[in-house]
Every structure is written in structure tokens, then in C-alpha cells.
């Protein structure tokens, strides 16, 4: 099969043996896979990953138990052991010996085929087309905020960053009833939110004001400082960016203002799939381009361009 693999020479499309079927897993033929900022950071050296990239996908089960074969699926990316105390406590996404699809220790979905544990699979409703289903993983990451932080109609939220994840986070928080301000660097991206009744402002025109909850999704090293400045005393700062670079951080304002800092990563697939099935979140306008797998290295370059949104790789 063909796959986009990162090694010591960088990321390039190569021919590999298909993943062998293993007990407790399914082999999925990938229909679409999405490029996210984490993939770009991995290429730059984040996590020092070696293997097939990609963790956002939708596909059809080709090999596995008969009840799964032929089903259209998406898959959670953390491959847990299922035996340790952390897994027993229901924190499988934090299993200390987990592998993470396309990020740490497990090959990913920028390939014709990907192997996924059965426990990680979720069937896609018939009403959700592939081009929407491929957003399940990043949309689940946005819903994770609601699992971690209490958000209601009186909550003032600021979302910093108008990339794919920032746009999804703003929609999910608004859907929970919060008063959301989205801060970004691109008028065209922010227009997608203002068209849905969400307040927006360009970063160049923005002056930080205190918010109850601030989501940092800029994907930039200087995003943390701006997010702290926008968080009220005893407010909550939710960190979403993952960076290869290690930015210098002044922690004094967090101590002085008693700010709660929440790391936020992967999230629950069920509410994400429901939101897609009920058309409560706009993902259609977030697709910039589809690129064949044979030109997947080009897809990474396109995704890194200023103003780019979701680039989809199609085997």
C-alpha cells in the first residue's frame, strides 16, 4: 500500500506492506483523512515520531469481526492497554503505556489502510457523509472542553485562534449557550463564525478583556501570553495548542490572578457524531482542498500555508 511516512529524511509517500490483521483489531480502508496542526508539528520534530502520519480519518472496515466488516467507521486515536489502573478508572486516553495513532508508537491514517483496536471504533451514521465524518476527531477535541469546564449561558468565553480547531471550539461553546468572542488573524475565517451569530474580532484590533473561560488554540508560541491576559482572576485557561517549539513562559500572572490552567486534548466521539448527524456544527465550509494520497507531501505544504483550513487526503 501507499502511505505518507515520516522518518529521518522527513515526510514522504512510500510503498509499505499493509498492516497485518491482529486479534482485537480491525483493518480499515481509509476513505478520507484530515491534516491538522499536530501533523505539521510532528513533521517539524514534535514527539520525534517515526511512522505513518495521520489521525483524523473515516473509512470502511475491510478485515475484522464479521459484525464490523463493511461498516463505515471513525476511530479514537489513543490505543490503551485496557489492563492498568488508569484504564480501570476510565481514563483510557491517559493510559501510561498507550500508543497514539500517527503520533506516538502507532502508524496513522495517511495511508490506504490503517489498523485500529475494535474498542476505538465508532460507526458513522448513514446521514453523515465522509467529508463531515472526517471531522469527528477534532470536533471531539472541542467537545472535551465541556467535559472539563462548566460552561453555561452566563459564561463569557474567548477563543484565541481561527484555525480548524479554534473554529470548532467556538461553535461548540456557543452551542452550549456561552457568550463567545472569537479572536483570529483572518477575516474570511472569522466570517464563518460571525455568520452563525458568534462575535469575532481581528487580533490586530483586539484588546484583551477579562473572560471566565479562555481557549488557547492559536498554534503559536506567543498564544499563551495573550490567553493569560484575557483570563479573569480565578478564571479558567484551556490550552489546546501542541507545538514542537518550547516557548518561554512567565507563570507569575497565573499565580497572582489564581488562574486555573486546563490541558485539553482528545475528547468524546459520541457528542461529536451526534452534532454532525444533527447538522449543529458547520464543518463543510472548513474544507480548503482535497489532495490525492500520492501527493500527500503536497497536502502538508498546503496545510501550512497562511489562511489554509482543512486539507483532506484521499487515497
CATH at 75: 3.90.180.10
Kindly report the CATH number assigned to the domain that includes residue 179: 3.40.50.720
Q: Checking DSSP bridges between strand 310-314 and strand 25-35, what pairing results, if any?
A: antiparallel
Task: Supply the pLDDT for residue 243.
Answer: 81
Pairwise CA distance, residues 12 & 4, whole Å: 5
The predicted model scores a pTM of: 0.95
Task: Supply the pLDDT for residue 107.
Answer: 98
Task: Supply the pLDDT for residue 292.
Answer: 98
Task: Supply the pLDDT for residue 242.
Answer: 86
Provide the residue-wise pLDDT of the chain in tens; the chain has 315 residues: 999 999 998 999 999 999 998 999 999 999 999 999 999 999 999 999 999 999 999 999 999 999 999 999 999 999 999 999 999 999 999 999 999 999 999 999 999 999 999 999 999 999 999 999 999 999 999 999 999 999 999 999 999 999 999 999 999 999 999 999 999 999 999 999 999 999 999 999 999 999 999 999 999 888 999 999 999 999 999 999 988 777 778 899 999 999 999 999 999 999 999 999 999 999 999 999 999 999 999 999 999 998 899 999 999
Task: Supply the pLDDT for residue 217.
Answer: 97
* Residue 253, φ and ψ in degrees, nearest 5: -60, -30
Residue 201 lies in a domain: yes
H helices of 203-311, in order, are 223-229, 252-256, 269-277, 296-303
* Domain co-membership, 159 together with 201: yes
What is the total count of domains within the chain? 2
* Domain co-membership, 154 together with 250: yes
Stated as kind and residue range, the H or E segment containing 262 is strand 260-263
Residue 107 lies in a domain: yes
Owning domain of residue 115: 2-135+283-314
Q: How many angstroms separate the Cα of 86 from the Cα of each of 80, 89, 273?
A: 10, 5, 26
* Domain co-membership, 249 together with 149: yes
* Domain co-membership, 130 together with 153: no
* Domain co-membership, 7 together with 78: yes
Residue 272 lies in a domain: no
Amino acid at each position: 500500500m501507499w502511505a505518507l511516512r515520516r522518518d529521518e529524511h522527513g515526510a514522504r509517500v512510500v510503498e509499505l506492506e499493509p498492516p497485518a490483521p491482529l486479534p482485537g483489531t480491525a483493518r480499515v480502508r481509509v476513505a478520507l483523512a484530515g491534516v491538522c496542526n499536530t501533523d505539521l508539528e510532528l513533521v517539524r520534530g514534535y514527539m520525534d515520531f517515526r511512522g505513518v502520519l495521520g489521525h483524523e480519518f473515516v473509512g470502511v472496515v475491510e478485515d475484522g469481526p464479521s459484525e464490523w466488516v463493511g461498516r463505515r467507521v471513525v476511530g479514537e486515536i489513543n490505543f490503551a492497554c485496557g489492563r492498568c489502573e488508569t484504564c480501570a478508572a476510565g481514563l483510557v486516553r491517559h493510559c501510561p503505556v498507550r500508543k497514539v495513532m500517527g503520533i506516538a508508537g502507532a502508524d496513522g491514517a495517511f495511508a490506504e489502510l490503517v489498523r485500529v483496536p475494535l474498542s476505538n471504533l465508532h460507526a458513522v451514521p448513514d446521514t453523515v457523509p465522509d467529508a463531515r465524518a472526517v471531522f469527528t476527531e477534532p470536533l471531539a477535541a472541542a467537545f472535551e472542553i465541556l467535559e472539563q469546564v462548566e460552561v453555561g449561558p452566563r459564561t463569557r468565553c474567548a477563543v484565541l485562534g481561527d484555525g480548524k480547531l479554534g473554529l470548532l471550539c467556538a461553535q461548540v461553546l456557543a452551542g452550549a449557550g456561552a457568550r463567545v468572542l472569537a479572536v483570529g488573524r483572518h477575516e474570511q475565517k472569522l466570517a464563518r463564525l460571525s455568520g452563525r451569530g458568534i462575535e469575532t474580532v481581528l487580533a490586530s484590533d483586539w484588546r484583551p478583556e477579562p473572560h471566565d473561560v479562555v481557549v488557547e488554540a492559536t498554534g503559536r508560541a506567543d498564544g499563551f501570553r495573550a490567553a493569560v491576559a484575557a483570563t479573569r482572576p480565578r478564571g479558567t485557561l484551556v490550552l489546546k495548542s501542541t507545538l514542537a517549539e518550547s516557548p518561554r513562559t512567565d507563570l507569575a500572572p497565573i499565580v497572582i490572578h489564581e488562574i486555573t490552567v486546563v490541558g485539553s486534548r482528545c475528547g468524546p466521539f459520541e457528542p461529536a457524531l451526534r452534532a454532525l448527524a444533527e447538522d449543529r456544527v458547520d464543518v463543510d465550509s472548513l474544507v480548503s482542498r482535497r489532495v490525492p494520497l500520492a501527493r500527500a507531501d503536497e497536502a502538508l505544504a498546503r496545510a501550512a500555508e497562511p489562511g489554509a483550513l482543512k486539507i483532506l487526503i484521499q487515497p
